[in-house]
């Protein structure tokens, strides 16, 4: 855990990792609290028409123990993979903890996945069991004949043909001794989002929770503080929802708010934060940009926010300044990947904040910008963001993919595939993924700055910039734009938007083509899938429409 200090330099000086030999996530986030403060509320589920439902640590342990007993009766043993296809809610938290108690490996999956995506991940992980709801169970029923290793499906809705979640909890009530796992024993497999190639299962050890703690405390300004209360719209199946919020908050004794909503709605988000008294939020940049479309939020909603952390893609100066102006909050941007999360961050409380920059290396992590040979580049020179191993938050390996694991490293540097610039004072600025960078007339252009400028236009709700092949310039910048509700597409508006960027950025960065779209292709983690837009632009350039 981070010591409370007034300067970044003091934090770096006074922090050191102290990892035990034996550690189990379930014990740390549930059992220990249930022994110390059994009646302490740990989970709250938002209800729009009444007070939130609440769950205490003691109730959480009882239910997780019962489910662990029930899963054991179904043949789940240490090392087995158990898939979770659930929305935010008590059942998801109970299921995670039960799996860790067994010494099994949790494989969280997004409820929005279609059957092909589920088929790939369930077969790739070799999941022996899946815990889901009626919707998820129906999807898996379509592909059951392909899933040779999947021996049982547990449904929280009592779906016919599935094991009943509530019945397991009733029939197998009683204590379950939490597995005595080593800190490096596998606990969790999270699939990469698949923005660049097929998704890969990043296998994490129980230490991944400990590795996240300084990366949570830094952007949330020395969490836990009195009355802290955590919420995120991010799916708990994503590292951002699970490891940036749920598990660390439970570890710190900070209650976590869940919501049944699957599709992000900015007005609903403000109502959740107001209705439950949220103090700490992790809100991805795309969701923050959607919050910007709400007029006068601080006047309309009685918010109690203390901190907002954001990561997953570039935040941008416009959104950073909007939050300061409209919410009275300095957003603490942070950076990481499924394989090695929360290694760079801001912390405005001690002055580590800069619009347009991710921040500084979180205490305990060594981060650099390197060239293709693994050598650190000079300050101000673009290169690839990399993290030095060993690192407690770093993944063990890709599941059944040794070649991809080897390719992830240059010597002791874990490469991220993200381009960045490290300034002389240590601040790191995200430039774009290797394959997102646009090459136009000899210039290398990152999409983030263009998108930030585009979304500052009063008519623009969301924007994405990609490179479109061009015989003269190699590529031109093309912008895909979702307009706000009170604006209609037109050639005049496209020209106005182009001029807006040309004047505010530069003549070589403005989008030479603008296309208005109804929606953006997004991953389940809320990131724009630029690959789909690039492929679309390439087809257009080749005359395929």
Cβ-proximal residues to 368 (8 Å cutoff; 6+ apart), any chain: 376, 385, 386, 388, 413, 422
Per-residue model confidence (pLDDT) at position 434 = 66
Q: What is the DSSP string of 496-527?
A: HHHHHHHHHS-TTTS-SEEEE-S---B-TTS-
Cβ-proximal residues to 346 (8 Å cutoff; 6+ apart), any chain: 218, 219, 330, 331, 332, 333, 334, 352, 353, 354, 357, 358, 359, 360
Q: Tens digit of pLDDT for each residue in 31-60?
A: 999 999 999 999 999 999 999 999 999 999
Banded model confidence at residue 507, pLDDT cuts 50, 70, 90: confident
Cβ-proximal residues to 140 (8 Å cutoff; 6+ apart), any chain: 85, 115, 118, 122, 130, 132, 147, 150, 153
Distance (Å, rounded) from C-alpha 451 to C-alpha 505?
Answer: 11
Is the confidence at residue 12, as pLDDT, over 70? yes
Vertex 529: Cα angle to 523 and 531 (nearest 5): 140
Q: Are strands 201-205 and 397-398 parallel, antiparallel or unpaired?
A: antiparallel
Closest by CA to 46, choosing from 290, 273, 279, is 273
Q: Are strands 201-205 and 186-191 parallel, antiparallel or unpaired?
A: antiparallel
Strand intervals (E) in 338-459 = 340-345, 360-361, 367-370, 383-388, 397-398, 409-410, 413-422, 428-433, 438-440, 443-445
Query: Which has the higher per-residue pLDDT, 441 or 360?
Result: 360
Could you tell me the CA-to-CA distances from 515 to 267, 452, 498, 510 in Å, in that order? 27, 17, 11, 13
The answer to whether 113 and 89 are in contact (CB under 8 A) is no
The answer to whether 299 and 337 are in contact (CB under 8 A) is no
Percent of the chain surpassing pLDDT 70: 97
Per-residue model confidence (pLDDT) at position 286 = 80
Per-residue model confidence (pLDDT) at position 70 = 98
Per-residue model confidence (pLDDT) at position 525 = 64
Is the confidence at residue 107, as pLDDT, over 90? yes
Is the confidence at residue 263, as pLDDT, over 70? yes
Q: Which two tokens stand for residue 475?
A: 């590529």
Q: Which residues pair with 332 in a beta bridge?
A: 309
**How long a stretch of residues is the chain?**
545
Q: What is the pTM of this model?
A: 0.85
Per-residue model confidence (pLDDT) at position 502 = 87
Distance of CA 452 to the CA centre of its chain: 20
Kindly report the CATH class assigned to 24-40+54-205. Answer: alpha beta
Q: What is the DSSP string of 304-341?
A: ---EEEE-SS---HHHHHHIIIIIS---EEEEEETTEE
Closest by CA to 304, choosing from 273, 265, 333, is 273
Is the confidence at residue 123, as pLDDT, over 70? yes
Distance (Å, rounded) from C-alpha 121 to C-alpha 107?
Answer: 9
Distance (Å, rounded) from C-alpha 228 to C-alpha 545?
Answer: 51
In the predicted model, what is the mean pLDDT of the chain?
Answer: 93
Q: Tens digit of pLDDT for each residue in 401-424?
A: 999 999 999 999 999 988 889 999
Fold of 435-541: GMP Synthetase; Chain A, domain 3 (3.30.300)
Domain boundaries in the chain?
24-40+54-205, 435-541
The answer to whether 359 and 344 are in contact (CB under 8 A) is yes
Per-residue model confidence (pLDDT) at position 1 = 85
Closest by CA to 318, choosing from 344, 289, 298, 286, is 289
Distance (Å, rounded) from C-alpha 89 to C-alpha 243?
Answer: 15
Q: What is the DSSP string of 377-401?
A: PPTT--EEEEEESS-TTB-SEETT-
Q: Tens digit of pLDDT for each residue in 68-106?
A: 999 999 999 999 999 999 999 999 999 999 999 999 999
Distance of CA 284 to the CA centre of its chain: 7
The answer to whether 134 and 113 are in contact (CB under 8 A) is no
Distance (Å, rounded) from C-alpha 354 to C-alpha 389?
Answer: 27
Per-residue model confidence (pLDDT) at position 181 = 98
Secondary structure of residue 375 in the 3-state scheme = coil
Q: Tens digit of pLDDT for each residue in 462-485?
A: 999 999 988 777 789 999 999 998
Closest by CA to 107, choosing from 89, 87, 130, is 130
Sheet holding 201-205, edge to edge: 163-164, 152-155, 129-132, 81-85, 105-108, 186-191, 201-205, 397-398
Closest by CA to 25, choosing from 222, 236, 181, 131, is 181
């Amino acid at each position: 855990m981070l010591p409370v200090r007034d300067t970044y330099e003091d934090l770096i000086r006074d922090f050191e990792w102290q990892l035990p030999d034996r550690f189990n996530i379930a014990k740390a986030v549930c059992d220990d609290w249930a022994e110390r403060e059994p009646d302490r509320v740990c989970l709250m589920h938002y209800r729009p028409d009444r007070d939130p439902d609440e769950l205490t640590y003691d109730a959480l342990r009882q239910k997780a123990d019962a489910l662990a007993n029930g899963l054991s009766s179904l043949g789940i043993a240490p090392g087995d993979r158990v898939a979770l296809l659930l929305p935010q809610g008590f059942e998801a938290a109970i299921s995670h903890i039960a799996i860790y108690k067994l010494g099994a490996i949790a494989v969280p999956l997004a409820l929005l996945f279609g059957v092909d995506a589920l088929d790939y991940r369930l077969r790739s992980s070799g999941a022996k069991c899946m815990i889901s709801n009626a919707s998820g169970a129906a999807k898996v029923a379509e592909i059951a004949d392909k899933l040779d290793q999947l021996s049982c499906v547990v449904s929280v809705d009592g779906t016919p043909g599935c094991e009943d979640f509530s019945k397991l909890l009733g029939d197998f009530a009683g204590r379950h001794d939490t597995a005595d796992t080593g800190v490096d024993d596998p606990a969790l497999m999270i699939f990469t989002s698949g923005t660049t190639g097929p998704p890969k299962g990043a296998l994490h050890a129980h230490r991944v929770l400990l590795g996240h703690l300084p990366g949570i405390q830094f952007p949330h300004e020395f969490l836990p503080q009195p009355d802290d209360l955590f919420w995120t719209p991010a799916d708990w199946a994503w590292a951002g929802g699970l490891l940036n919020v749920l598990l660390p908050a439970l570890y710190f004794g900070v209650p976590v708010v869940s919501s049944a909503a699957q599709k992000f709605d900015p007005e609903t988000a403000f109502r959740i934060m107001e209705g439950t008294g949220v103090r700490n939020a992790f809100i991805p940049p795309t969701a923050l940009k959607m919050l910007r479309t709400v007029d006068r939020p601080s006047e309309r909603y009685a918010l109690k926010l203390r901190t907002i952390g954001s990561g997953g893609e570039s935040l941008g100066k416009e959104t950073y300044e909007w939050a300061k102006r409209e919410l009275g909050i300095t957003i603490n941007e942070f950076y990481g990947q499924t394989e090695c999360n929360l290694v760079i961050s801001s912390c405005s409380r001690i002055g580590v904040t800069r619009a347009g920059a991710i921040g500084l290396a979180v205490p305990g992590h060594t981060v650099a910008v390197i060239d293709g040979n693994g050598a650190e580049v000079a300050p101000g020179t673009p290169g690839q963001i990399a993290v030095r191993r060993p690192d407690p938050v770093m993944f063990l390996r890709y599941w059944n993919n040794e070649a991809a694991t080897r390719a992830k490293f240059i010597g002791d540097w874990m490469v991220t595939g993200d381009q960045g610039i490290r300034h002389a004072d240590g601040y790191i600025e995200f430039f774009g993924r290797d394959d997102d960078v646009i090459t136009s007339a000899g210039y290398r252009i990152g999409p983030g700055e263009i998108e930030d400028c585009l979304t500052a236009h009063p008519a623009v709700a969301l924007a994405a910039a990609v490179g479109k092949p061009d015989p003269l310039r190699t590529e031109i910048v093309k912008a895909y734009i979702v307009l706000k509700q009170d604006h209609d597409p037109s050639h005049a508006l496209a020209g106005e938007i182009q001029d807006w960027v040309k004047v505010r950025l530069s003549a070589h960065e403005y989008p030479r083509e603008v296309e208005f779209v109804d929606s953006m292709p997004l991953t389940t983690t809320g990131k724009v899938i630029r690959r789909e837009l690039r492929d679309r632009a390439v087809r257009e350039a080749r005359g395929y429409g």
